[in-house]
Amino acid sequence: MLQVEALHKSYGKRSILENITFTLKEGDIVGLVGENGAGKSTLLHVLATLQKPTKGKINLNGMTYHWKSFSQIRKHIGFVPQEVAIWEHLTVEENMLFFEKLSWKNKSKEELQSLCLDMKLNRWKEPVHTLSGGMKRKLNLAISLIHEPELLLLDEPTVGIDLKSKQEIAFYLKDLTAKTGMSIIYISHDMDEIMNLCDRVFCIGNDLFYYELLAQAGQEVIQL
Amino acid sequence: MMNILQTRLIHWKKQGLHLLFWLLSPMIVTWLVITAGNAIQDDTKIPVGVVLKEDTELAHDLYESIHTTPFIRAYALDEREALHKLEKHELDSVFIIVEGYEEDIRHGNRNELIKAYESDVSLAYTPVSEMVMSYVQQDVGRSKAAYAVKELADTLQYRFEFNWDDLIARSKQIEKEQDLLQTTLTFLGNGFVHIDEGKNLFQPWHIWALAAFLSTLLLFDWVIKENNPAILPRFAFTRMSMKTYFVQNMLIYITLLFAVDLLTVLVFYYVFYEPISFSFIISLLSYRLMISLGAFLLALIIRQTYVFYATAFILTFVSVIASGAIIPLDGLLAKYPWIHYFNPLNAFLQGDFFHIGLGILFVILLLWYGRKEEYDATS
């Protein structure tokens, strides 16, 4: 489904990603871990077409990454940014409707509400600024799923939220991949969350701390 | 475009009153300033009592002339009441049109036609009495002209039946038709200044242009509020880029604002008797485009709303100064005409279709739109 081959990314002389190669199958949930500054977010941004690789090849469902085809590729990608990217002054319903109007796929209000309810986001009419951090994170995720992407990229989507909300999100994502075959790449610093949710884990950077930690815990882990 | 309109309506639903207030504020501010200006103008008029001792056409015409003089508030009173009010200093002066006024005028008698009274605190007696005398002089002169015509006809042995009333009526008609009292003044050899009698103290479209300038700037704070760096990457995964979203929303705002401008044209036509013409509408559209583009681009540069609001007020103040509303700049503008280019109101108030600023702003917009976005995978 996703093939990454000899990917390099550097800013001037500073190399961030070096020779990254991996593949992702349909329905895979892959964790991406590493110390701060290792290049996790950069890799996610490159895969999301938000940044161009310096070298290497990426192929998503037969589409090779090239700046000319980015707009086409983006239709197949869902991206959940690290920051909560929603309109705080609008309600959950208005946020969903707003991004649905700009989305490639049209959805009814009932479908949008159902998407939220599936991840236990039930405060449909509430203004976002009154919601808890967990609810906001769920809405942040729900908006990224409106256009039914095949590859979902999440950059620390549960940072700073309570355990219950984390579990609800994890449960929802597992259920979603099982039902739709969507593949997921998930960045987190929470090892419990990674081990509960992910089938495989990619470690990035030179520090082997995460690799050893996860390997000892019996997790399938690959150092990129 | 329909979808973008729907997203705009979602935002507007939350800001209905705010939006309505700033949309209508230029119209309301103009009405308030004009009304207040007229009220102040009325209050500062000199109160003058006029007593009509005879009921003739000339006497009534004289009263009407005094009554319609700008900066004078004339009251028709009887002599006793008028003098009583003068003693109480409720009137600045009193003018009595004595009995036999018309008859005296007919016979060319110029003496003691009007009796005038002043008090010890009369401030404007001299100029007002001069003015009343000029009206009387006008009537006397007209009568003398009638007799001159008769003498001329007699000298030339021209057969004609002399009728004083007909000649006076004809004289008044000529004066009216030829608009003899309309004056055009010229300052420093440039620009004509047209003096209109009985108009508003302020020009409605001048006030409106300044109020619209400020309200448009303040309305475009949506650009700052929605130019949210956190939301920016979301637009990469939608049908349109952030820039397209902003430009399309700007077009929606301009359409809405221009619709309200057209409503203002109608309101001013009925309320202030301001004329409507096609060229004026084009000039208005040009002004609307310029201030909206300016507000949009300014809001893209500034990140904090309070800095934007402060800048909006400063720019409006500069425009007020540059437009000559506070300090007359006629001499300065005659010497340095390039100052006009820095006054965004200039083209609109002169009725021009194009201001250089509109062209510059349009080029800046194109450059901004053509520049790649942060999240376009080129970094």
> Contact A50/B236, CB-based, under 8 Å?
yes
| Range A1-9 average pLDDT | 89
Q: What is the pLDDT of residue B349?
A: 78
**d(CA B365, nearest CA chain A) in Å:** 23
Burial class (CB in 10 A: 0-12, 13-18, 19+), B341: middle
Residue from A50, A67, A109 to probe the interface with B (highest B Cβ count within 10 Å): A50
| 3-class DSSP assignment, residue A100 | helix
Nearest to B240 among A67, A78, A102 (CB): A102
Residues from chain B that touch A103, judged by Cβ atoms under 8 A, are 238-239
The DSSP-derived string for B295-359 is HHHHHHH---HHHHHHHHHHHHHHHHHHTTSSS--HHHHHH-GGGGGG-TTHHHHHT-S--HHHH
**What CATH class is the domain B48-144?**
alpha beta
**d(CA B291, nearest CA chain A) in Å:** 28
> Contact A147/B237, CB-based, under 8 Å?
yes
- Which portions of chain B are predicted below pLDDT 50? 189-198, 378-379
Closest to A20 in 3D by CA, of A37, A7, A29? A7
Domains contained in chain A, CATH given: 2-87+149-223 (3.40.50.300)
Judged by a CB distance cut-off of 8 A, whether residue B163 touches chain A is: no
> Contact A74/B236, CB-based, under 8 Å?
yes
Tokens found for residue A75:
């239709």
The DSSP output letter for A127 is: B
A20 contacts A27 by C-beta, under 8 angstroms: no
Taken in order B290, B292, B297, B301, is the CA torsion positive or negative? positive
Q: What is the pLDDT of residue B186?
A: 56
Q: b/e per residue, B148-160, with b = 16+ CB within 10 A? A: ebeeeeeeeeeee
| 3-class DSSP assignment, residue A15 | strand
Q: How far apart are CA B201 and CA A108, in angstroms?
A: 57
A70 contacts A49 by C-beta, under 8 angstroms: yes
Judged by a CB distance cut-off of 8 A, whether residue A53 touches chain B is: no
Residues from chain A that touch B376, judged by Cβ atoms under 8 A, are 70
The counts of H helices and E strands in chain A are 8, 10
Residues from chain A that touch B233, judged by Cβ atoms under 8 A, are 48, 50, 79, 81, 85
Residues from chain B that touch A48, judged by Cβ atoms under 8 A, are 233, 236
In this structure, are strands B114-118 and A63-64 parallel, antiparallel, or unpaired?
unpaired
> Contact B13/A94, CB-based, under 8 Å?
yes
pTM here is 0.76
Residues from chain A that touch B234, judged by Cβ atoms under 8 A, are 79, 81, 85, 99, 143
Judged by a CB distance cut-off of 8 A, whether residue A210 touches chain B is: no
pLDDT in tens, A51-110: 888 989 999 988 888 877 888 899 999 999 888 889 998 999 999 999 999 998 889 999
Residues from chain B that touch A84, judged by Cβ atoms under 8 A, are 230
**HSE (side-chain half, CA atoms, 13 Å) at A113:** 10
Instruction: Write out the H or E segment, with its range, that includes residue B40.
Output: helix B16-43
Q: In chain B, what are the domain boundaries?
A: 15-37+199-370, 48-144
List all residues 6 or more positions away from B289 whose beta carbon is below 8 Å from its beta carbon: B254, B358
**d(CA A192, nearest CA chain B) in Å:** 27
> Contact A144/B235, CB-based, under 8 Å?
no
Q: What is the pLDDT of residue A92?
A: 94
Closest to A33 in 3D by CA, of A177, A197, A156? A156
Judged by a CB distance cut-off of 8 A, whether residue B1 touches chain A is: no
Q: How far apart are CA B347 and CA B357, in angstroms?
A: 10
Burial class (CB in 10 A: 0-12, 13-18, 19+), B337: exposed
Nearest to A102 among B11, B228, B239 (CB): B239
Q: How far apart are CA B102 and CA B60, in angstroms?
A: 10
Q: How far apart are CA B46 and CA B131, in angstroms?
A: 13
Residue B178 main-chain phi, psi, to 5 deg = -90, 0
B278-301 and B242-271 are packed helices; what angle lies between their axes, rounded to 10 degrees? 140
**d(CA B202, nearest CA chain A) in Å:** 41
Taken in order A213, A219, A220, A224, is the CA torsion positive or negative? negative
Nearest-Cα residue of chain B relative to residue A9:
B379
First to last CA, chain A: 18
Judged by a CB distance cut-off of 8 A, whether residue B12 touches chain A is: no
Beta bridge partners of B187: B190
Q: What is the pLDDT of residue B197?
A: 45
Residues from chain B that touch A52, judged by Cβ atoms under 8 A, are 377-379
**d(CA B326, nearest CA chain A) in Å:** 41
Q: How far apart are CA B290 and CA B365, in angstroms?
A: 11
List all residues 6 or more positions away from A63 whose beta carbon is below 8 Å from its beta carbon: A69, A72, A73, A76
Judged by a CB distance cut-off of 8 A, whether residue B16 touches chain A is: no
Nearest-Cα residue of chain B relative to residue A89:
B14
Q: How far is CA A116 from CA A97, A173, A174, B10, B360, in A?
A: 12, 13, 16, 19, 47
Beta bridge partners of B93: B48, B118
> Contact B237/A77, CB-based, under 8 Å?
yes
Residues from chain B that touch A152, judged by Cβ atoms under 8 A, are none
Q: How far is CA B201 from CA B127, B186, B268, B270, in A?
A: 21, 20, 15, 18
Q: What is the biggest distance separating any 2 CA atoms in chain A, rounded to whole angstroms?
A: 51
Residues from chain B that touch A102, judged by Cβ atoms under 8 A, are 3-4, 7, 235, 238-240, 245
A102 contacts A73 by C-beta, under 8 angstroms: no
Q: How far apart are CA B189 and CA A202, in angstroms?
A: 82
Rg of chain A, C-alpha, whole Å: 17
Tokens found for residue B87:
């003693």
pLDDT exceeds cutoff 80 at A213: no
> Contact B378/A52, CB-based, under 8 Å?
yes
Q: What is the pLDDT of residue A20?
A: 87
| 3-class DSSP assignment, residue A189 | coil
Q: What is the pLDDT of residue B199?
A: 52
Q: How far apart are CA B308 and CA B224, in angstroms?
A: 9
Closest to B216 in 3D by CA, of B323, B31, B370, B344? B344
> Contact B231/A87, CB-based, under 8 Å?
yes
Judged by a CB distance cut-off of 8 A, whether residue A215 touches chain B is: no
Q: How big is the A-B interface in CB pairs under 8 Å? A: 72
Judged by a CB distance cut-off of 8 A, whether residue B239 touches chain A is: yes
Residue A218 main-chain phi, psi, to 5 deg = 85, 15
Beta bridge partners of B295: none
Q: How far apart are CA B214 and CA B218, in angstroms?
A: 6
In this structure, are strands A2-11 and A14-24 parallel, antiparallel, or unpaired?
antiparallel
Tokens found for residue A63:
């589409």
Tokens found for residue B224:
């700052």
| Range A134-160 average pLDDT | 91
Tokens found for residue B32:
């308030």
